[in-house]
Chain A
Amino acid sequence: MFEKALEGNRYYWVWLAFLGALMSIAAICYVRQFNYGLGLTGMSRDVSWGLYISQFTFLVGVAAGGVMLVLPYYIHNYKVFGKITILGEFLAIAALLMCLTFIVADLGQPLRMLNVIFHAQPRSMLFYDMIVLNGYLFLNILCGWVILTAERRETHPPKWIYFFVYLSIPFAVSIHTVTAMLYCGLPGRHFWLSAIVAPRFLASAFAAGPALIVVIALILRRVANFDAGKEALNKMVTIIIYAALINVFFVGLEFFVGFYSDIPGHKHTLQYLFFGLEHHGHVYNNLVPFMWAFVVLFVIGLTLLSVPYTRNNKNDVWIGIGCASIFISFWLDKGVGFVLGGFVPTPLEEIVEYYPNVNEVFITIGIWAMGAFILTVLYKIAIKVEHEIEA
């Protein structure tokens, strides 16, 4: 079926070439990092995870978000999602491949990564994360491919595939739950040590994932003559609104617990993220603009998606902007603030701020470009199949 990705108009090739260029730059930067070490990043012994792991965390959510299409379609037989469910499954594949690449980019000794299997430690949450991430990747490739092949032949998918489709639903929940457990099980990191991290991650994922799918569906309608259908988009926007509200509600609960209990350890990171944290006469606040952008974009996104005038606007441009706002907003929340903020203050109650290195930024951009590349190719195939059936 891959041959379908080999034909496209000029814009298609220019887009792929652009992404390819970004990937090449990242590859060169990675060779530099590989030869020098992770010293070519902004990380230090105090902020020991940076952009790579924060992007990984956010993208696990994007991968899990696809389940908001799979679940209504397969469990509740919600036919309206029939056409775009494949978009969710393929988005999960691209996002998971980005996740795994970010993990490898972050390893100090990437050539030894199979030690996670050779010397498996079942008490480590990373062990389970490896299992569920790879498992979910496998399930999405399998289900997406088998169902698309059946569609192409205009037959029903084989019955056995439904076992894997249903299995993929708890897997989607598990990937983000286990990813949350990487953080929320660590003693002494007060900001992360919260039972609400996993549900908060899921809520944010169930908004950000579908929001990205809506944006992509609207773009595909313009450039690829692919119509997801008004009703499907409308239903997804409703899902996004609820999930986004729940996520922000959970953030608010963290604020309540921290500030009402007035326990310094529970407040420090929130203060650092949103207001700046004073320490020995210096105010540390390099993440404050990002966190307020998170709040502002959330409000803008929610307004555009909820107010009837913008939501029902004919050309859907407001819905597109609204969904993009929600997606970027939650990227700032989870892909920047959550992971980086958790390291402030350090276990010795000092403050060290993290500034990514240029090399690191290019690698990060390149991995995102890789995800976009994979996604473009997969969507190209899926849409070609759709068009063939219609023709």
Chain B
Amino acid sequence: MDKKRRDFLKIAGVSTLAGLGGTAVVDRLVSGTSPVQSRAAKEVDLGHDGGHEAVTQGHGAGEEVAKSGNRLGMIIDLRKFRENPALGDKVVEACHSTHNVPDFPDKKDVIKWTWLTEYENVFTEHSHYHKDRATLDNEVLVMCNHCDNPPCVRACPTRATFKNKDGIVAMDYHRCIGCRFCMAACPYGMRSFNWRDPRAGLDMNKINREFPTRMRGVVEKCNFCAERVGLGKQPACVEACGDSKALIFGNLNDPESEIRKVLKANYTIQRKPSLGTHPSVFYIV
């Protein structure tokens, strides 16, 4: 009897300690990620006062984005797209011709990197009752969000999709085994698969020789024009917008960048912020 009681006390003591430790961990985690507020938004706030490093550490958020690293991002200014309704299609065309994205009529084979779709399909978490005309009549541009915490990268069993140092979520078409786990993992539906030889959907006389066509059986998606950015150019979609500033591309971690200034001056939203993926694409509605 006595022995049993001692054992019980021992176990109880140990589990209490474990419990206390466990709560501490949970507390840290909770304070580290306030649910809806996005990681990027927090950074802007912290940008005001010089000592943001200390503030961040005070939060105990070990997983804050590295301040030293670059994080490329995009602002999509829907006001500009409403002013110029032809712009959306022009942007999509620029992207798809730059990257030799094939055009297949059968919906089953479709591959797309960026496209226009209804507001309610893009912002599924936003509720509206009797939508305003502008929202009803205009479509919204979507593309890979180049999440700071990308679920697709976590899912990929071969590191064929990975996050670059500059924040771009890129693909290695030669390593991809075509398991499509990343497609199931992407909460934005931004990934496409080459169900058949993509060259069958391309006019081989018109392809862009600067960018490879893909082979069948691999996944692809928007790459933020990593190949152009590496050469100091703007992404093709941004270039297609001319001087309209409908798309603004830049380093979210550079306080002097244009994108940071626009983020500070405007109210922006991201897609599905509650999932904690921290998209690097922001919308001005």
- The chain A residues found within 8 Å of chain B, CB to CB, are 36-39, 41-46, 48-49, 103, 106-110, 112-113, 115-116, 118-121, 123-127, 130, 182-183, 186-189, 342-343, 346-350, 352
Contact = CB atoms under 8 A, between A and B. Distances in A.
Interface string B166-192: 000000000111111101111111011
Contacts of A120: 157-158
Nearest to A348: B121
Interface of B: 107-112, 117, 120-122, 124, 142, 151, 153-160, 175-181, 183-189, 191-197, 215-219, 272, 275-277
Contact of B177 (A46, A108, A352): A108
A343 B180 CA distance: 13
5 contacts: A37-B195, A38-B195, A108-B194, A124-B157, A125-B155
A125 B154 CA distance: 9
Nearest to B272: A188
Nearest to B112: A45
B177 A116 contact: yes
Q: Does more than half of chain A's interface fall in helix, strand or loop, or is it mixed?
A: loop
A44 B277 contact: no
A121 B159 contact: yes
Given A48-B180, A49-B180, A348-B117, A123 B187 contact: no
A349 to B, nearest CB: 5
Contacts of A121: 156-159
By Cβ-Cβ distance, the 7 closest A-B pairs, closest first, are A108-B178, A188-B187, A108-B217, A347-B189, A39-B195, A39-B196, A37-B216
Nearest to A190: B187
B277 A187 contact: yes
B153 to A, nearest CB: 8
Contacts of B219: 108
B184 A48 contact: yes
B181 A39 contact: no
Given A109-B178, A187-B275, A189-B187, A43 B195 contact: yes
B176 A109 contact: yes
A235 B104 CA distance: 56
B184 A109 contact: no
A116 B158 contact: yes
A366 B272 CA distance: 41
A306 to B, nearest CB: 38
Nearest to A44: B108
Given A119-B158, A121-B156, A124-B154, A349 B120 contact: yes
B125 to A, nearest CB: 9
Given A37-B216, A37-B217, A108-B216, A187 B158 contact: no
B157 A127 contact: yes
A349 B120 CA distance: 8
Most B CB contacts (10 A, CB to CB) among A45, A120, A352 go to: A45
B195 A115 contact: no
